[in-house]
């Protein structure tokens, strides 16, 4: 994090960090640098080791999270690089409800004898703390995907670090505007940049942030070796997207809070899950899977899609995926609330809900 960013509010950082120097005739925005090769004698040398466009994005995200950021080709590329920190047969503690890609990577590694895993109820802080005793790495999501459970990041981080384990927090749902895990004791933060940071459903990219210079060097070395680097255009789009992050999150959160109140009163909805912040909501439909499928296919504005964090409102019934844990209700629909007019969103959603009462 640059010293110039320390005293600024997050919205200002999102707009101002990662800009070129203010000299006459300099561009206001960091250009797209299309280069695979650099003139020898500097710090980069080759396109796999760095790019000015990545660097600008990394500066913004690092400043927002309070650490140093590394951009990756995808969120799963970032996840796999972090999991490489775990030694052979080391124990990874992770939420039973989490991003499917993370759980599938852990299952694959365990099936090959590479790591051991312990899947826990992340809301049971005492149970998670007990599981940390033999852990090499503790993976947290808060809120979890798609159950929207909240972890006590500070308490779990303290216990895990006392046991000698790394603590990783996937901060994709909350974004650094609503939660900064490094300040709560985490060692590493992971993002699917594809979601809120880029924010327009047109980028595939990931990132890792840490306040530890040694960890940063290790992860940078792994990225250099594996080639999990982002495309330059993707980095530029993500940088452009993050400029409006604070505006988009503010609007999505305001919309979500209105919808939560209205959903709670609708007879088709058995349960509404919302952690109290952010733009992700889950509703559990009284009619189960059949009702969920009908609702997600019965709207004009809401888009039936699996991703989230874009300006448009999307939703899906999560148990349609075979890998989704059976502890997720069959009728749970995860909703990514966008920035449209909230009354239009509600009218569209209510019509689909009315049809399954």
Q: Which residues are catalytic?
A: 48, 99, 170, 195
Spatial contact of 317 and 311, defined as CB atoms under 8 Å apart? no
Other Cβ atoms less than 10 A from the Cβ of 237: the count is 22
Spatial contact of 245 and 14, defined as CB atoms under 8 Å apart? yes
CA dihedral 214, 168, 81, 99 (to 10 degrees): -170
What whole-number distance in Å separates Cα of residue 285 and Cα of residue 294?
11
- Which element (helix H / strand E) includes 332? strand 332-336
What is the SS3 assignment for 159?
helix
Spatial contact of 116 and 88, defined as CB atoms under 8 Å apart? no
What is the SS3 assignment for 215?
helix
Which positions ≥6 away from 237 have C-beta within 8 Å?
A: 198, 200, 202, 203
φ/ψ of residue 20, rounded to 5? -65, 165
What whole-number distance in Å separates Cα of residue 282 and Cα of residue 147?
7
Spatial contact of 299 and 348, defined as CB atoms under 8 Å apart? yes
What whole-number distance in Å separates Cα of residue 101 and Cα of residue 109?
12
Question: What are the helix (H) ranges across the chain?
Answer: 10-16, 52-65, 75-83, 100-111, 125-131, 153-162, 175-178, 213-226, 232-242, 245-263, 288-296, 342-354
Strand partners, 284: 271, 332
């Amino acid at each position: 994090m640059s010293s110039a960013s320390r005293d600024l509010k997050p919205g200002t950082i999102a707009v101002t960090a990662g800009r070129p120097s203010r000299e006459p005739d300099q561009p206001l925005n960091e250009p797209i640098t299309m280069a695979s090769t650099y003139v020898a004698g500097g710090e980069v040398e080759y396109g796999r080791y760095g790019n000015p466009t990545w660097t600008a994005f990394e500066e913004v995200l690092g400043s927002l999270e309070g650490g140093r950021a590394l951009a990756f080709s995808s969120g799963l590329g970032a996840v796999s690089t972090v999991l490489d920190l775990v030694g052979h047969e080391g124990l990874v503690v992770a939420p039973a409800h989490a991003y499917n890609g993370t759980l599938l990577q852990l299952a694959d590694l365990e099936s090959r004898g590479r790591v051991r895993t312990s899947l826990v109820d992340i809301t049971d802080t005492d149970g998670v703390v007990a599981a940390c005793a033999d852990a090499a790495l503790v993976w947290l999501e808060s809120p979890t995907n798609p159950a929207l459970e909240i972890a006590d990041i500070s308490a779990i981080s303290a216990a895990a670090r006392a046991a000698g384990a790394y603590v990783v927090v996937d901060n994709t749902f909350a974004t650094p505007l609503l939660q900064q895990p490094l300040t709560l004791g985490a060692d590493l933060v992971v993002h699917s940049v594809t979601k809120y940071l880029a924010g327009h459903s047109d980028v595939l990219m990931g990132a890792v942030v840490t306040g530890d210079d040694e960890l940063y060097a290790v992860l940078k070395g792994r990225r250099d070796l594996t080639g999990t680097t982002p495309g330059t255009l993707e980095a530029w789009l993500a940088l452009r997207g993050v400029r409006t992050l604070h505006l988009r999150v503010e609007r999505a959160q305001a919309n979500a809070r209105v919808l939560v109140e209205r959903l709670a009163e609708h007879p088709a909805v058995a349960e509404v899950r919302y952690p109290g912040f952010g733009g992700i909501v889950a509703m559990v439909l009284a009619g189960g899977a059949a009702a969920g499928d009908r609702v997600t296919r019965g709207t004009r504005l809401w888009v039936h899609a699996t991703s989230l964090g874009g300006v448009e409102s999307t939703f899906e019934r999560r148990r349609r995926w075979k890998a989704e844990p059976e502890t997720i209700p069959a009728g749970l629909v995860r909703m990514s609330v966008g920035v449209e007019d909230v009354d239009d969103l509600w009218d569209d959603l209510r019509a689909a809900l009315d049809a399954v009462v």
